[in-house]
């Protein structure tokens, strides 16, 4: 087991938490504002976030976030960089960073890890991320899969973020020296679960809209008033009744 250098952990933690927090802040602003912030306002906001998170010791929000959540995973950091790029370009509603396939893989992996951590599976999946055999093999297989996705042009943004995560883990052992901490953390897992839930609700609503019963032909005419069935309306019916009298 090789742990990352403390200096690299310090730099990574400050940078990663600054990017994650800025992404969340921009997402909230996009929900509250109909139009995106001007480019200058976005630059000032990002610069202020960088200065705030680089403050020493307890003055930095990264200090308290690290105490509460440890370090963000490399994949969360990469996904937030992609999302932050969309906000910077004014494309907050662009292509989703958390795709359904990525969300499904992360949700299932996190579920297995959390069940194992709670003692319901007791297979030692998390501790295998420190192992000298399983972790390198999984990292190599993941890097090969990401490279193939980049060559074939499939989910290139997500594949690039995952490949960068694997490289950070391989070269610097960030963030904690465990492979699972590099690709998953509670915040990223929650993002994946919420994405799956939202997609499920939308698909259910779309299915209901497409399968809703349509009015049967001829049924609407039976339900209309008698006066509306006459091509000339009530005046013509009154005139016809006068002639009969």
**DSSP letter at 97?**
S
Checking if the pLDDT of 238 tops 80, the result is: no
Supply the pLDDT for residue 214. Answer: 58
Mean pLDDT of the chain: 86
**Residue with tokens 């490289």, as numbered in its chain:** 167
Per-residue pLDDT of 136-157, as tens digits, reads: 999 999 999 999 999 999 999 9
- 218 versus 104: the higher-pLDDT residue is 104
**DSSP letter at 245?**
-
What Rg value do the Cα atoms of the chain yield, rounded? 28
What residue ranges do the domains of the chain occupy? 6-206
**Can you list the pairs that 42-47 forms with residues at least 24 positions away whose Cβ atoms lie under 8 Å?**
42/87, 42/88, 46/22, 46/88
Checking if the pLDDT of 217 tops 70, the result is: no
pLDDT band at 210 (very low <50, low <70, confident <90, very high): confident
- In percent, the amount of the chain with pLDDT more than 70 equals 85
This prediction has a pTM of: 0.84
């Amino acid at each position: 087991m090789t742990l990352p250098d403390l200096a690299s952990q310090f730099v990574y933690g400050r940078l990663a938490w600054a990017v994650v927090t800025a992404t969340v802040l921009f997402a909230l602003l996009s929900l509250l504002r109909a139009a995106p912030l001007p480019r200058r306002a976005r630059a000032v906001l990002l610069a202020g976030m960088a200065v705030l998170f680089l403050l020493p010791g307890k003055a930095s929000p990264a200090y308290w976030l690290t105490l509460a959540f440890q370090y963000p995973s490399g994949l969360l950091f990469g996904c937030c960089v992609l999302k932050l790029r969309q906000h910077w370009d004014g494309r907050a509603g662009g292509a989703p960073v958390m795709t359904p396939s990525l969300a499904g893989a992360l949700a299932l992996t996190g579920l297995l890890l959390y069940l194992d951590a709670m003692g319901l599976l007791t297979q030692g999946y998390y501790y295998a991320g420190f192992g000298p055999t399983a972790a390198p093999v999984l990292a190599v297989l993941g890097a090969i899969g990401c490279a193939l996705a980049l060559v074939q042009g499939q989910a290139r943004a997500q594949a690039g973020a995952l490949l960068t995560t694997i490289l950070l883990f391989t070269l610097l052992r960030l963030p904690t020296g465990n492979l699972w901490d590099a690709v998953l953390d509670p915040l990223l897992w929650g993002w994946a679960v919420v994405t799956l839930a939202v997609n499920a609700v939308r698909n259910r609503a779309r299915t209901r809209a497409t399968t809703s019963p349509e009015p049967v032909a001829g049924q609407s005419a039976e339900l209309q008033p008698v006066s509306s069935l006459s091509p000339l309306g009530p005046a013509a019916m009154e005139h016809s009744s006068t002639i009969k009298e």
